[in-house]
Every structure is written in C-alpha cells, then in structure tokens.
C-alpha cells in the first residue's frame, strides 16, 4: 500500500515502527510535521490488535490573535509545542488505562495525534500576528501524517474509533469520514468529547477558514465542492462528514455547563449563558440535515473526561457513560442520554 497524504498536500515516506506490542512508542512524522513554534511534534502509537484501531486527537486550546497565539504571556490560549513521551502516557487514566477490564478500547491499537498548532487540527498555513509573531497553523498537515501512518500500518483494520477531547474532538467527524474513504468496508465510530456548543457562527467560521487556512486542507468531496470559507463550521464537519460517509456512526459527549467551552465561545462572540440549550440546538440542526448524532450530556461545568477515571464512574439518568461508549464501540447506536437537572 502506498503512503499518500489524505488531507493536505504532504509528501512523506511512512516511518518504521519499533517492535513492542502493547507499549506506547514514538514515531517520526517526517520533515513536514511542525508545531506552532516551528518545533517538531511528538507522534505516539500503541501497537495491539491490528484490526481494531483508535485514532486519538489531543486537545489543547486554540489561538487567533497576537495575544492568544503568543508563545508565553497571560492571554496564551493554546499549546504551542509538543513534548509527549511514552512514559507520560502511562500516567493517564480513563480510556488510557488498558488494565481496566471495563475499557472497551484496551485491546485496540492506538495512533495518537499531538496538538500544538492552535487550529483545531484543521489549519494549513503560516500566519503572522502583530509585527513578527509567526505561527505555523499546520494541524491538518500533522493530522494527514497520522492518517497516512494508520493507513500504511494497519491495512486490515476492520473497526476504527476516531476520538479526541476539547480541540481534538472538533475535527473527529471530518477525519472519520476520510478514513471511510480509505477503509470502505470498516466499521467506523467517531466520538467527540467537549465541543458540542460551538455553533455555525460567522466569526468562528472565519477563524477556521481565513486565519488558519482550513480551506487549503479540507477535502475535495462532491458534497462540499461549492462551499466557501463561511460555510465550513464546527457543526458542518458533522453535516458534510455524515453526508459523505453515511455509514459512519457519529457521537458526542458534553458537560452541560462546560466552563472551557463557555470561555472559548465568549472569545468569538458566542452567547454561552445557557450552554446546554445551545448544545441541544446545535445537535438538532445537525440531525435536521439527515445526519444522526448520538449524544450523552451530563450535568456539571467540567471540561472533558476520556482521559480521567470519571469515564468509568459517571452515570446520568441511570445510564453509565462507559456502558454507553462500549455500545458505540461494539457497533450499536445507544439512545441519547441527557440530564434532566443539568445544574
């Protein structure tokens, strides 16, 4: 199988994998992989069952101005470099605890996409903020490297889970649909944790399209051929991904009063005083296009949980989240779960 760029125009040879089944290991993304500050990101992989693979997108904020994109300072709103290591992964809980008998992803291989570009894993351009703050918004390039690596390394993948937290949850429907192009016979589930309140809003769409250069990286699908920079939105990733790959199962998790989502929404002019209503409205808009979206909404103001042991402990309306996720992984579409008292 030829290693070819999936999203961005990236030329690379696929890196070799070091033996060590079940253990986290790094792999080289090649010369095109880059963080916002020009450094090289740390790609990670866990080799286990080659027919079942998780593609995980790391979270870490976003930036769109000289203040928020600065490499240091009080208003910095993103991660600008990547220093992941196999050792650091062993400190995580939640779905990264492969010894937990309830973990539905314990036997899967994992490809971990680092996040250090401030662009929701969707950018493909160099942007100068202020006089001389040069930022490499190359999240889509790094994502393409990871997708190509997955396609090359796991050609027999039959079950794929595309997931991520916070900024890493935003692009999951897009990359799941792209994997459907590469694996047309595979069962694919995408599950985003912590981004359900970002609407189809002109300012936010503009950040994605103009500041970060997402239009340089988005796929040339028949369903999206006529779209402009203002048409692509966070909900649109579900809509157009679902229209392009209708057999993919799309799902999301959110805390009803997520303070981090409210903070980032306010930065781009989104009224998030009633966040759970906004989450409900966005889900309804997505589903009105004919794209089903399974959802689990929990009370609270926390932000994301897939990497925490809370994923095993949380129960809403009598449904444990880990059981709900397990159904998704096993190919079922569980009923929506929503808190009745979401305070």
Assigned token pair, 120? 């929701």
pLDDT (0 to 100) of residue 279: 97
Least confident of 15-29, 127-141, 286-300: 15-29
The pTM (predicted TM-score) of the whole model is 0.93
Average pLDDT over residues 43-65: 96
pLDDT (0 to 100) of residue 9: 35
Average pLDDT over residues 277-306: 97
pLDDT (0 to 100) of residue 224: 87
pLDDT at 12 over 80: no
pLDDT (0 to 100) of residue 3: 38
Question: CB atoms < 10 A from the CB of 131, how many?
Answer: 6
Assigned token pair, 281? 């409205």
Average pLDDT over residues 104-116: 97
Q: Kindly report the CA angle at 58 between 296 and 331, in degrees rounded to 5?
A: 45
Position with higher pLDDT, 217 vs 74: 74
pLDDT (0 to 100) of residue 83: 84
Least confident of 21-25, 73-77, 185-189: 21-25
pLDDT at 17 over 50: no
Strands of the chain, DSSP E = 24-27, 43-46, 49-57, 108-113, 125-129, 133-137, 159-165, 187-193, 249-255, 294-298, 315-316, 319-320, 337-338
pLDDT at 4 over 50: no
Compute the mean pLDDT over every residue in the chain, rounded to the nearest whole number: 91
Question: What whole-number distance in Å separates Cα of residue 342 and Cα of residue 206?
Answer: 31
Q: What does the pLDDT look like over 211-239, one tens digit per residue?
A: 999 988 889 898 888 888 788 899 999 99
Q: In this structure, are residues 284 and 276 in contact, taking their beta carbons and an 8 Å threshold? A: no
Q: Where are the domains of the chain?
A: 24-338
pLDDT (0 to 100) of residue 218: 86
pLDDT at 110 over 50: yes
Q: What does the pLDDT look like over 147-178, one tens digit per residue?
A: 999 999 999 999 999 999 999 999 999 999 99
CA-wise closest residue to 248 among 168, 154, 304, 328: 328
CA-wise closest residue to 112 among 56, 54, 174: 56
Architecture category of domain 24-338 in CATH = 3-Layer(aba) Sandwich (3.40)
pLDDT at 6 over 80: no
pLDDT confidence band for 21 (50 / 70 / 90): low
Q: What does the pLDDT look like over 252-263, one tens digit per residue?
A: 999 999 999 999
């Amino acid at each position: 199988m030829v290693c070819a760029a999936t999203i961005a125009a990236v030329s690379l040879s696929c890196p070799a994998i070091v033996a060590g089944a079940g253990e986290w290991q790094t792999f080289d993304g090649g010369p095109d992989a880059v963080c916002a500050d020009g450094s090289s990101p740390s790609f990670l992989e866990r080799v286990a069952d080659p027919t079942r693979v998780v593609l995980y997108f790391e979270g870490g904020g976003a930036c769109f101005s000289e203040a928020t994109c600065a490499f240091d300072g009080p208003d910095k709103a993103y991660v600008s470099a990547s220093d992941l290591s196999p050792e650091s992964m062993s400190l995580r809980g939640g779905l990264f605890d492969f010894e937990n008998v309830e973990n539905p992803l314990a036997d899967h291989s994992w490809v971990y996409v680092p996040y250090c570009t401030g662009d929701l894993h969707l950018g493909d351009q160099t942007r100068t903020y202020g006089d001389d703050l040069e930022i490499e918004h190359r999240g889509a390039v790094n994502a393409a490297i990871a997708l190509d690596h997955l396609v090359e390394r796991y050609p027999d993948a039959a079950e794929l889970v595309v997931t991520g937290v916070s900024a890493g949850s935003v692009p999951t429907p897009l990359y799941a649909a792209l994997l459907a192009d590469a694996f047309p016979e595979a069962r694919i589930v995408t599950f985003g944790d912590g981004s359900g309140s970002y609407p189809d809003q002109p300012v936010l769409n503009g950040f994605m399209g103009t500041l970060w250069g997402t239009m340089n990286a988005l796929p040339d699908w028949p369903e999206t051929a006529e779209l402009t920079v203002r048409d692509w939105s966070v909900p649109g990733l579900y809509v157009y991904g679902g229209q392009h790959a209708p057999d993919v199962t799309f799902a999301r998790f959110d805390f009803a009063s997520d303070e981090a989502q409210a903070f980032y929404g306010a930065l781009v002019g989104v009224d998030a005083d009633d966040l759970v209503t906004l989450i409900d409205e966005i889900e309804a808009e997505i589903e009105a296009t004919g794209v089903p979206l399974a959802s689990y909404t929990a009370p609270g103001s926390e932000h994301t949980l897939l990497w925490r042991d809370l994923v095993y402990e949380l129960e809403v309306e009598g449904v444990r989240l880990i059981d709900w996720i397990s159904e998704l992984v096993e190919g079922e579409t569980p009923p929506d779960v929503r808190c009745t008292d979401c305070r």
